[in-house]
Structures are given as C-alpha cells and as structure tokens.
Structure 1
C-alpha cells in the first residue's frame, strides 16, 4: 500500500523514499524479501546502500544463497562493495554452513583492502566458528591489529560452539574487559557441552564479579538447573529474574516451564504456563509443558494438553509428536503411539531417528518385542544407539535373550568405545547363566582399553548439589549418611516382614 502511494504521488525515483521502502520490505518482520527484490529491480541507479539492503535481507531469509547471486550482480554492475557488504555475506555463509563460500568472501575483502576492518573481521571469526573451522577463526583473530570486545566475544563463542571449553575459558580469562555477552557465552558453552555444574559455578562468579545477567544468561542457567534437577537453585534463578525486573520473554517463560517440569515441580510449571495468554504462546512453550507431563508419567494430562493446544490453534511440530510418543511409552499406549507416529507423515513431517527410537520403546515396553524388531528392520534410516538400546531393554524385561544378543552385538559395532554397550551384552549373557560369554565381553572391553565410568547421582540439599557414587565415602559426613541408610533399610525389611505376616494370617 505504501509502495502504491509512492508511485501514485510520483515519488518512485526519490532515492531516500525508495531506500526506506526497500529497507522496510527487506528487513522488517512483516516484510517480504522477494517483493523487496522486485522493488529493487525498478530502481534506476541503486546505490551501494540499496545493494547491501537486499543482500542483508536474503542473508536472514529462508534462502541465504540468493545473497551471493545479488552480490555477483552488484560486481557486474560496477558497484564497489563497502565495509557493510562483507559481514552480510559472511552471515549468509554461516547460516548455510559453507566455509568455502565464506573463504571466497574473505579473500575478496582482503583483495579490496579491508584487512584491518574490525567489523568485517569479527563477522569472519563468527562465520568460520559457525562452520566449525576454529583454526581459521583463530587465525583471523590473531592477525587483527586492534581488537574490540566484539572480537573477543566472537572468539570465545567460537571455541564454545566447537566444544573446546578449555580454550574458551582461556580466552575469557585473557579478555581485557568483559560484558554480559562474554559471561553468557561462557555459561552457555558449558551448558551445551554438558558441564552443568560448572555453568552454575560461573554464574555464581558472575553475580560477584560481573555485570547484571540478562534474559539470555538466565535461559542458559535455567537449562543447567533443569538437567541437574536442582529445584532450589532453579527457584533462586526465578527469583533473580523477578527481583531484577528482567523482561519475561516467551523464551524465558519456556525455560522456566522446562526447568520446573524436569525438576518435578509440575504445579509450578503449570502456573508459569497458564500465566501466558493463548494468543501469546508458541509451540515451544506447549512442547515444554507436554513433555514435562510425559516424563513424569502424567500420560492422560499430557494428551489432554495436546488437545487443548490444537483448540488454541497452535500447529504441532516434530518435537510435539516426540513428546506425545514419550507419553505413550510411559503409559503403554501402543494404539495411540501408532496414531501420533502416522500423523507426522500426514502433516508433511519426516520422522527422525528419535521418533523411530520412541516407537520402538513403546512397542518394547508393551512386550511387543518381535513387532519392535520388525519395525526396526523396515525403517528407512539406520538404527541409532538409543533406538537399539530401547529394544535391548525390552528384550531383557521380557526374556528375549536370542534377540537381545543380536541387538547387543550391533550396539557394540555402532559404539565400540562406550562402556555400557559391553556391560549391556554381558548382562544379557549373565541373565541366562552364560557366564563364559559374559566374562568374554568384560575381557573384550578391557582389551580395547574401554574404562567403565562410574555412574553417579545428585541430590540437592538447601540449594547445594551433592554428587555420589556407589560406596562413596568422600563426603565429610559419610559415616552418619551410611548409618541413616542402614536404619532405613532395616525399617524397610521390618515393613516387608510385617506385610508377609499379615498376608499369612489371612
């Protein structure tokens, strides 16, 4: 409509108005990049700003490839790129995960004299790190004569994305100054790499030494609490959000729902969930709540919430159906699981390995082990370790030792350096008293140099997490802990004996 008015009033050749209209069409949330390109094509002599606007628009669109098509047309038109052109192209390369394109853009920028431009170099560090080429990212970083905090943050985030938290921490410690982005990158890196306790430790350090956390920081911290089951700490984080007046974005609300649900505080999760009006929810929030109900065995509530979700007009995605399949597995609902699995295809979604694994789990838990194995053999994707593990558990529960042996051997082939694979097959043999084969598995594990990692559990007491393994005596109060444990066991035995006596007297 605005474009039509511009044409009607004869202003289509007015450069400032055309450029603003182009920016609105290419970059705004309600815009349309293809429409923007058609508008751009009508400009008599587009400036470099206009070319950059279209390149930028495509770099954040569903088809970042077109950024490069426009760039080539720009060069052919004799328009010289500036310091803004290359970062948009680097962003497109990062989104496409194509370091070869990014490398070509890097070379072009150097050729045109942009070697020391911080804005371009920072975008190149991000691009190479996103493409998991951390060596080139570091090379660009080291060759920068002048670095700003964005440069340091890009390098820190790059190491974190590549899973090298030792180097990420080293960069963090060397930073001449740190902002909330620096702390958030480090915390998120530890969360993404599974070191949730360290993530919380860094957050505690941030509270003392660093700036005030923002909603991005809190999303990562809440994720750490969720994985550790640290409910008291999660509640403290919720209080921090409220006390510091952080904006309660939908992403942050979803993280709170996820944390409370995974920590077993279903009522608190529902309270946060219900605090969002239906018109402002999204599929991620519904998934968090449906999945939270499912993992705690609240199967009917989970399915009822899905019905409510459909009434609210929220379109389910692949994660929604994964949560529903998980609920069916917990409730032994084979018929319903088949329905949800088939819904994926009906709604234009392709089942992932996780969906197949859940379906196998549903069948195996329900005792339909042969059907689960047939389903596995007919899958269009290669079976994953989690999928075979679900089938193996079903075989063990229902005494299908022959099939369990086949599955156990396949698991070792898939994951030969995982201690649990050897122990799982050893347990299969032990269950049917094939002691020689059970011992052979343990020996095969030792020959390969696979060490059995000790399983551990965590318990949260007064906001502090304590980890312990079997026969652990490292805690300073371990003597009292074992005394209480022995007392509890003795009371359980007395209760069992009492129940038996009551049964016999009937």
Structure 2
C-alpha cells in the first residue's frame, strides 16, 4: 500500500470519528497539507459525511465542492442530494444550474435528486423545466426518472399530466403504480386513487399506506380505518408511515379503544416506537381524552434537544383538557432542559391561555415570538383573538383584528362572533357576522350565525332574511353528526336522521353509555332519550 493511500485511509478513519465542525475543518486542513485535495476516496467520504450524514455542515460541503478543480459527478450528486433533503431544497436547484453552467453533464442519478427538490418547492414551471431537460439529455425514458416525474407533477397539483406520463410508460413497475396512487391521494382524488389501487398487479406497504393516508387527509377517517383492517387481513405488515396515519384517524374520531389496539399492534409486531410514532401516540391519547396515558407515553420517552414536536403535542394535549397551569409548567420544563420552542409551541401555549382565560400570559407568549426571531402568523393572531373574545374583551379583540398586518381569516372572525354572542355584544356581533358572510358566502354556518344574532335581538324579520338569503344562494345546511365508540366499533349518529338504527342497537348503546357513567337508566328515560336522538321510538 502506498504512503498516500495509507495516509488517506487514516484520515478517513478520523473522519468517521469526527463530531464537530471544528474537528472537520482540522481534517480538511490536514488533507490539503498532504496534497490529498484530489484524492477521490477521501473526497467521496468527505462529501457523504458533510452533505448526508451531518446535514448541518452541508453549506461548508458546498463551498469545498465549488473550490475544487475537477470534482466528480458523484461528488456533485452527493451535495445536490443533501440539499434536496434539507430545509433549503432551492439550493439543490441552484447547484444543479451551477453545474450546467460549468459545462458538466448530469447523469441518471442527478435528476432524481433535482426532481425531489422541485417536488418539495411545489412549482409547476420548475417541474416543466426539469422535465424538458431530462427529455433533451435522453433520460426521460429512464423508468426511475419517469416515476420521479410522475411524483413531481402530482406534488405540483398537475395530476392530469402525471397520469399522462403514467399511461405513456411502456413498462410500469410497482414504484410507477405507487407514484400514481400517491399522486391521486395527495390531490384528494380518492375515487381515482382507489381505482388505481384496485388495478395494481401487486401491492406493498407503500401502496396501502398511501391509500390510508389519502383518506385521512381527505377527512374520511372511518374509511381509513376500514382500509387498515383490510390490510391487516390480506396485506403486508404496517410500517411507521401506516401507523402515523392510522393513529391520526383514531385521534380525529376519538376512537380510544381502537387507538389502544393500534398501540398494542405496534408492540406485538415489533414496530420500533421511534419519536414520530411516540408523538403520534401522545397526540392520539390526548385527543381521545386519555390524558394520563398521553403523559405516560411522554414521560417514557428519552427526550433530547430535537424533540420539540413531542413537547408541543403534550403541551397542546394538556391545554385541551383544561390542565392549563400544567401546560404552562411543562413549557418551563421544556426551557430548562434546553429545547428551543418553535411556532407550533407558541400556538399551543396561546391555545392554553384561551382555555384558561389567561390574557396577560397570552400577550407575553405572543411577544415571545419576536424574541425568538419568529414572525407571528395568522394562526397566532387568531389565538389572541380567541383569548380576548373568551375573556369578554371583544372590543379589544375587534381593534386587534383591525390593526393586524394581514386580512382577518374566517376562524378569527368566528371566534370573535362567538365571544360577542356569549357576552351580549350584539351590535358588534352583527358587524362581525356580516364580514364573515362576505368572506365565506357559501358557508352555511355564517348565515346561521348571523341569523342567531338577530334572533337573540328579537329581530325576527332580519333572522328570516338570512334564512331566505341561504335559499336564494343555494347554500344548504348540513346536519351535524357524532361518533360513539362502543366495544371497539364506531357508530355514527346524524341529527334528525330518519334512517335510525334498530331499537335493539339503541338500547345496547344506552346500556353501554349508562354502564360507562355508572348510571341506572330506567325504561322511561331511555324512551325519551331515543326520541331525542331519532325523532321516533
């Protein structure tokens, strides 16, 4: 072995043990000192280390790349790949353009990384430009690149062109089908996603997970759970992505028993409970009302300084359960252990203040956003409006809305309208109600809200006018519904539904509810209860 190779091997060994940017720079100086700047094994290891294994050093990696005389295409690809996974995917595109301007030719590995970065940026014009370049260089027919292009167009919302590419592929593999299925699911076209799923010659865990996630994102949580049950019977074992979607569905349905079964399913199947899954479990238990179980999962996790999502889920969960002081105390604990809060943290804290009526604390947290270098978003402003409205300071809330640097959202005005009605400020409620109808003229609740304001004021003609305005505009009032979980099964009840369940099912439901509440409900009370639910006994 030559002296150069031995030295390079020793430096690479040191690189594997490198822990900080300071140490990395020392090694960098060392390999320049011994004239190893063009020694490819070291360079490949160096760029893999800085761009992929330690993404915090990727900017340093890019500087080194641009100062080398003749870096290989592999080294360019490594840094482009690193940026495609980073918080700044646009830098991946910039580096690709720099590569072209230097007269270098991308290879078949370059384009998937550039396409991935483009998909994250959600710019269709960029997608078209990258696609044109693959066609010009002859790589468009590469099946892996074609699959990436399908994903790119679907991510940019152009599902029609994505389908055109898919249909034009002479040979499709499982990735091709999954890309098309995921594209439809991401665009909310669940009927078409299901059609693709049913036509697939083979399915893997990605196929099932994409379909389940699509139903979750479109709000059809019960169907998502039904697909998961089908997967358990005939499909592969679920992975982390599957279970995150399933737990999200359980959380939105309030299906605690099913959520517990999902937790046990992960344990029984040896699925590693990583941070993402543990955060999903905390969120699910909190939203399903089992705050003690949420805390148990939270306290059982070995947290470090990157676990802000877990802390956010727990802070928000405590707030929703009315444990506002505990929520604020947990934020103090979070600061003590050295975790930096993000925008979601302050959103959870402001929500906690709204539940507890803590106006002073809400202003403090709102001001803290600036201290941490964050600009308040519309959601933060909405929380402050909610805090003030719940506390009865509706005039202050209205002035706050008028002075915001952005136009008020419907959620802000909705919170303000509720506050005005709860605290008898009907004149201001009328102003806010009219603004809501201007913002969302096709939303049934906006007309009904203003109609209720007029009804409380005994302005019956104006209340009737609102109802007539709904009819003239063709706005329909959709009935409310509730889900009740009994023995692990979800039952859906719709207001004034004439297609009611059988009397036996209702009796069983009432017996279950009475048992849970430890009540002795006699026959007469049950009959009245059934009449309220269905309109008939």
With the shorter chain as reference, the TM-score category is over 0.9
Matching residue within 178, 185, 200 for 1:153: 178
Matched, 1:201 2:239: no
Change in CA separation of 1:229 and 1:14 when aligned onto 2, cut-off 3 Å: same
Any idea what SS the aligned residue of 1:32 has?
helix
Within the alignment, does 1:37 sit opposite 2:37 as a pair?
A: no
Match in the other structure for 2:301: 276
Matched, 1:370 2:408: no
Deviation, 1:42, is 3.9
CA contact (8 A) 2:450 2:466 kept: yes
Q: Which runs of 5+ in 2 are unaligned?
A: 1-25, 511-520, 530-537
**Distance of 1:62 and 1:437 partners within structure 2:** 52
Pairing 1:41-440 to 2, within 5 Å after superposition: 41-279=66-304, 282-440=307-465
Q: How far apart are 1:41 and its partner, in Å?
A: 3.0
Q: Which segment is superposed worse, 354-363 or 388-397?
A: 354-363
SS state at 1:24 partner: helix
**Count of aligned residue pairs for this structure pair:** 491
The question of whether the paired residues in 1 share the 8 Å contact of 2:417 and 2:429 is answered with: yes
Q: Secondary structure at the match of 2:490?
A: strand
Distance across 2 between alignment mates of 1:301 and 1:76: 57
Are the aligned partners of 1:55 and 1:67 in contact in 2 as well (CA < 8 Å)?
Answer: yes
Hey, what's the Cα distance between the residues in 1 that align with 2:303 and 2:83? 32
Question: More deviation in 16-25 or 190-199?
Answer: 16-25
Give the superposed CA RMSD: 1.9
Equivalent in the alignment of 1:487: 525
Q: CA deviation at 1:218?
A: 0.5
Within the alignment, does 1:16 sit opposite 2:54 as a pair?
no
Between the aligned partners of 1:231 and 1:67, the Cα distance in structure 2 is: 43
What CA distance in whole angstroms lies between the structure 2 residues aligned with 1:331 and 1:388?
20
Task: Compute the TM-score of the two structures, normalised by the length of structure 2.
Answer: 0.88
Asked if 1 retains the 8 angstrom alpha-carbon contact of 2:250 and 2:284, the reply is yes
SS of the residue aligned with 1:382?
coil
Whole-angstrom CA distance in 2 between matches of 1:439 and 1:373 = 27
Closer, same or farther in 2 for the Cα pair 1:85/1:484, shift >3 Å? farther
Instruction: Note the residue ranges of structure 1 that are not aligned, 5 or more in a row.
Output: 492-506
Structure 1 residue 65: Cα displacement: 2.9
Structure 2 CA distance for aligned equivalents of residues 65 and 286 of structure 1:
30
Residues 76 and 354 (structure 1 numbering): CA distance in 2 closer, same or farther, change over 3 Å? closer
Residues 460-469 or 124-133, more deviating: 124-133
Q: Which runs of 4+ in 1 moved over 6 A?
A: 481-485, 488-491
Q: How far, CA to CA, are the matches of 2:94 and 2:372 in structure 1?
A: 33
Whether the 8 Å CA contact 1:250–1:281 is kept in 2: the answer is: no
Name the CA distance, whole Å, in 1 between partners of 2:302 and 2:159.
43
User: Contact conserved, 1:395 with 1:404, CA < 8 A, in 2?
Assistant: yes
Cα distance, 1:172 vs structure 2: 0.9
User: What is the match of residue 476 of structure 1?
Assistant: 502
Distance 1:351 1:115 in 2: 43
> Would the alpha carbon gap of residues 475 and 281 (structure 1) be closer, same or farther in structure 2, given more than 3 Å must change?
farther
On the 8 A contact 2:131/2:140 being kept in 1, the answer is: no
Return closer, same or farther for 1:171/1:28 CA change in 2, 3 Å cut-off.
Answer: same
Query: 1:66 Cα deviation (Å)?
Result: 3.1
In the alignment, is the contact (CA less than 8 A) between 2:84 and 2:114 conserved in 1? yes
Task: Render the CA deviation track for 1:249-287: whole Å, top value 9, x for unaligned.
Answer: 100000000000111101100000000123376111011
